[in-house]
Amino acid sequence: MAIAELSNVVKRYDQKLTVDHVNVKIEEGEIFGLLGPNGAGKSTTISMICGLLEPDGGEILIDGLSVKARPLDVKKRIGLVPQELALYEMMSAAENVAFFGRLYGLRGKLLKERVEEALAFTGLSDKAKEKPSTFSGGMKRRLNIACAIMHRPKLIIMDEPTVGIDPQSRNHILESVKTLNQMGSTIIYTSHYMEEVEAICDRVAIMDKGHIIACGTEQELRERVAHEEKIVIKSGAGPLAPELLDELNLHPRINRVKTLEETVELYLPSSQSELQDILFIFAKHGGVIASLQIEEPDLETLFLNLTGRTLRD
């Protein structure tokens, strides 16, 4: 059963289509990744799902309820972890969680239990009485999550929850997402970090310029770009000579060449058959190879293949 269903959803800002006829169905119990570069329309889509923005066209159903017709019922089923920290610095961690809990109708003993539960889940039990102003960035991010899950929502929407934090907190958050999913919540996870989405999501939709350009499981998406491999070569003697790069670009079996300082990425149908040619070109122009790596196609490759740009462009 679909917990979220978007049909032909459109959103315009000043006549510019920010979300362009998006159709997607998110099944109950899955972790659904929404991957795309900054400005792709992910946050706008999230805002419309949460009832924060009204679509200019199309319909959004959450748990079978129309967001437009029954916004309050829909909001009770959702827990939003915003991209920006949304906390009251003058209130303690427990007071922050409790305030939002009350807005979801929790009271008395139940509220107290849920606050403790949410703080324990995010590893902040011992910081319950401290104010977020004394927290590290990672702890604030975890508290940001605690404020969204204390009412045990059916659908948790996380909008880039790992922006700007240390690897340890990032891993903690990713593990938390998996645990929340195991506890029964459906998760929509937006990110422009391909690795995160690959690590935790059951299905992924890739967004660009307001469109969903690909949607499926990681395996399904990989298969779409299985015809192309990537060779990453790192130079051992500074930037590569322009003549060397020109010859690589002119090679008929190499689809694209991308250079980044001392590294060159080559996209081609088969690395095995062309590797000898590539090494010959390097030798011919005096190129020194420090390392060479053949990579299997990933979501980044798929995005590049579909848009001609990288996720971080």
Q: Who's near 184: CB < 8 A, 6+ residues apart?
A: 29, 154
Distance CA 157, CA 79 (A): 6
x-marked contacts with other proteins along 48-67 as a string, rule CB under 8 A: --xxx---------------
The angle subtended at Cα 301 by Cα 239 and Cα 287, nearest 5°, is 20
Strand extents, DSSP E, the chain: 2-13, 16-27, 31-35, 57-62, 65-66, 78-81, 155-159, 186-191, 203-208, 211-217, 229-235, 256-260, 263-268, 289-295
Given 2, 17, 65, 91, the residue binding other proteins (CB under 8 A): 91
User: What is the nearest approach in angstroms of other proteins to the Cβ of residue 54?
Assistant: 11
Of 88, 116, 216, 305, the residue at the interface with other proteins (CB under 8 A) is 88
Sign of the dihedral through C-alpha 239, 241, 247, 250: positive
By CB under 8 A, tell whether 6 contacts other proteins. no
Shortest separation between residue 70's beta carbon and other proteins, angstroms: 11
What is the distance between the alpha carbons of residues 91 and 94, in angstroms, rounded to a whole number?
8
**Residue placing its CB nearer to other proteins in the complex, 173 or 268:** 173
- Segment interacting with other proteins, rule: CB under 8 A, options 60-68, 88-96, 167-175, 258-266: 88-96
Minimum Å distance from CB 143 to other proteins? 12
Q: Restricting to residues 130-149, which ones interact with other proteins according to CB under 8 A?
A: 147-148
Q: What is the DSSP letter of 310?
A: -
Token pair 């977020």 is at which residue?
Answer: 132
Q: Which stretch binds other proteins (CB under 8 A): 71-79, 211-219, 257-265, 296-304?
A: 71-79
Question: Shortest Cβ distance from residue 50 to other proteins (Å)?
Answer: 4
Cβ-based nearer residue to other proteins, 68 or 76: 76
H/E element holding 275?
helix 271-284
Distance CA 152, CA 146 (A): 10
Under rule CB under 8 A, residue 262 binds other proteins:
no
Residue ranges in 193-252 that form contacts with other proteins under rule CB under 8 A: none
Q: 303 and 225 in contact (C-beta within 8 Å)?
A: no
**Residue in the block written with tokens 């070109």:** 281
Applying CB under 8 A, the span of 93-101, 168-176, 229-237, 262-270 interacting with other proteins comes to: 93-101
Q: Which of 9, 87, 143, 214 binds other proteins (CB under 8 A)?
A: 87
84 versus 182: smaller Cβ distance to other proteins? 84
Look-up of token digits 């990989």: 222
Q: Which residues bind other proteins (CB under 8 A)?
A: 50-52, 72-73, 75-76, 78, 80, 82, 84-91, 95, 99-100, 102-105, 147-148
